Structure 1
Amino acid sequence: MTDIRITRSHGLPPEQARSAAQKMADRMVSEFDMKTQWNGDVLAFERSGVSGTLALRENEAQVEVKLDFLFKAFASTLEEKIARNMDKAFGIPA
């Protein structure tokens, strides 16, 4: 079951959308010690207690996150941070 789901529309060409997603991934790796891996247009990410995907579609990016029990208490804070990062990455003004 998904604990966090955020979808953002964008007007980026596929290469720029993938570049924006990769920048988000690079931040997640450095800030949260996450492991990431591309599978086509889906970026999977994982660390202890948190796993999910960032799927790129034409004109849309969607993040789905699953949280272990200990992280569920922080779901709203994590959701806000992910939403801000998606807005920034996909060109939506803050």
Structure 2
Amino acid sequence: MPNIDIRRPHSLSGTDAHTVIDHVATRMREKFQVETQWKSDGTLGFERPGISGKIAIGADEIHVSAQLGMLLSPLKGMIEQEIRRKLDEHFS
């Protein structure tokens, strides 16, 4: 299965970064019917048929990792581009 691994530096406080990721998660649920859940380790897990992953908030970076199923494999480039665009929009 193809993997997505994107890291983006940020200079927000942990609380502000968490708020931004909450906003992004809301959009993910609305646009892509993705289920999201905050984990005890502070990462946001997301899942729907064909994709699962997490968003981790570090002190100075956001780390998005995901695994794509066979049906979404051909869309890996487009999915990565959309993730990068959203991260740039919120963390640049």
Q: Which runs of 5+ in 2 are unaligned?
A: none
Percent of aligned positions that are identical? 34
After TM superposition, the score normalised by the length of structure 2 is 0.94
Give the aligned partner of residue 60 of structure 1. Answer: 61
Q: Spell out, residue by residue over 1:19-60, the C-alpha distance to the aligned partner (whole angstroms, 9 max, x if none).
A: 011111001000000100001320000001011000001011
Distance (whole Å) between structure 2 residues aligned to residue 45 and residue 76 of structure 1 = 19
Q: 2:90 & 2:55 partners in 1: Cα distance? A: 12
Equivalent position of 2:75 in the other structure: 74
Once superposed, what is the RMSD of the aligned Cα atoms?
1.1
Q: CA deviation at 1:2?
A: 5.9
Aligned AA for 1:30? Answer: E
SS in 2 for 1:70: coil
Which segments of structure 1 move beyond 2 Å, counting only runs of 4 or more? none
Q: How does 1:36-51 map to 2 (within 5 A)?
A: 36-39=36-39, 40-51=41-52
SS of aligned partner of 2:84: helix
Matches of 1:16 and 1:60 in 2, distance apart?
A: 13
